[in-house]
Amino acid sequence: MKRKKILIILSCAGILCIVLLIIGFTIIFGLNITSDKANQVIFIPTGSSYTQVLDTLKSKLSIKNINAFNWIARKKNYTGAIRPGRYLVGKKLSYNGLINLLRSGRQSPVKVTFSNVRTLNDIAGKFGKQLESDSARIVSFFSDDSNFLNDGFKKENIISIFLPNTYEFYWNTDARGIYIRMLKEFRLFWNDTRLSKAKAEGMTQIEVSILASIIDDEVVKRDEKPRIAGVYINRLKRGIPLQSCPTIKFALNDFTITRVLKKYLLVDSPYNTYKHSGFPPGPIGCPTIEGIDAVLNAENHDYLFFAAKADFSGYHNFSRTLSEHNKYALLYQKELDKRKIFR
């Protein structure tokens, strides 16, 4: 009889243990966290406390038992090891699963795309909208030569490393992290083939980027880019100023100008390529891969001038002599007058 009682007690204890294990398992590993969205984004800013993280989680997710969540977070030491970032959470998740995700720092990257950008302010704006670091901090970093002088760049030409494309970044990447990543992409882009072509033209990577940025702004028709690159290279080799209208717009910081007037050519700026021979201090925008490759594969010809065609097709007339060029330029100017384009 006594043995039977012991067996009953042991059986009850075993059942109780099983029930407790089931309850514990359900609490820890059950899908007790839900979201209104299939992919809910959770942002954990740098320097957040556990209380702030909890407030964020409660505002975005439905947590069935907050006390149980806190207990698991403490046991897993998450309360003292907050990892900032952007995290993607599914529609249903367990306490254990969410804490493991946040504690691991396994972020969902942000895609940053930029093209047709002219200045560091524009680039900083693109990153500032997508990442934790604001645009002012990014601009401040890239305005300080000491941050990249050892890598051969200055604030005037650092925009060279920003090759237009789509890149993935972690949300909490700071300005230095952006620089390190873009420098890596820049170095990968400048492979041995491109470097040898630049050397053959007698140019550095930065000089190629400067010329490419001018051509990108100057040329509408991509099939003309190598030919116009050839014109500029011919001028550089002969010591003739580039006399590029886009550099005047950049110097004036007015990109709405459609007609570069003589008074604009008087602007006092190192970017005024009508006054100064050689390259301006830096690119006048993010040079595209297409523009860079146009310079590296420039046409070999003897043209020294080009003028937009009066039919507004986007193509140009090319000339070997100034007198011939002036004739084409006059035709275009007359068409501008006819269309009442005076600025």
pLDDT single digits (tens) 227-277: 999 999 999 999 999 999 999 999 999 988 888 888 999 999 999 999 999
**pLDDT value at position 4?**
59
Residue-wise pLDDT tens digits, 171-195: 999 999 999 999 999 999 999 999 9
The verdict on 183 and 291 lying in the same domain is: no
Assess if residue 242 is contained within a domain. Answer: yes
Same domain, 164 and 271: no
The model's pLDDT over 5-56, given as tens digits with 9 standing for 90+, comes to 655 554 544 544 444 444 444 455 456 788 888 889 999 999 999 999 999 9
Between CA 206 and CA 154 the distance in angstroms is 10
Q: Is 184 within a domain?
A: yes
Model confidence at 135, pLDDT cuts 50, 70, 90, reads very high
Of 67, 84, 104, the residue at which a domain comes to its end is 104
What's the rounded mean pLDDT across residues 304-312? 92
Domain count, the chain: 3
From 104, 121, 155, give the residue that closes a domain: 104
Domain range for 130 is 110-189
What's the average model confidence in pLDDT over 105-127? 91
State residue 214's pLDDT score: 96
Residues 201 and 329 occupy one common structural domain = yes
Is 13 a member of any domain? no
User: Residue 57: its pLDDT value, please?
Assistant: 93
**Same-domain pairing of 89 and 123:** no
- Of residues 164, 141, 178, 143, the one with CA closest to residue 282: 143
Q: Is residue 292 included in any domain, yes or no?
A: yes
Residues 162 and 250 grouped into a single domain: no
Residues 74 and 68: their CA atoms lie apart, in Å, by 10
Of 143, 161, 189, which closes a domain? 189
Residues 48 and 133 in one domain: no
pTM: 0.85
**Whether residues 96 and 135 fall in one domain:** no
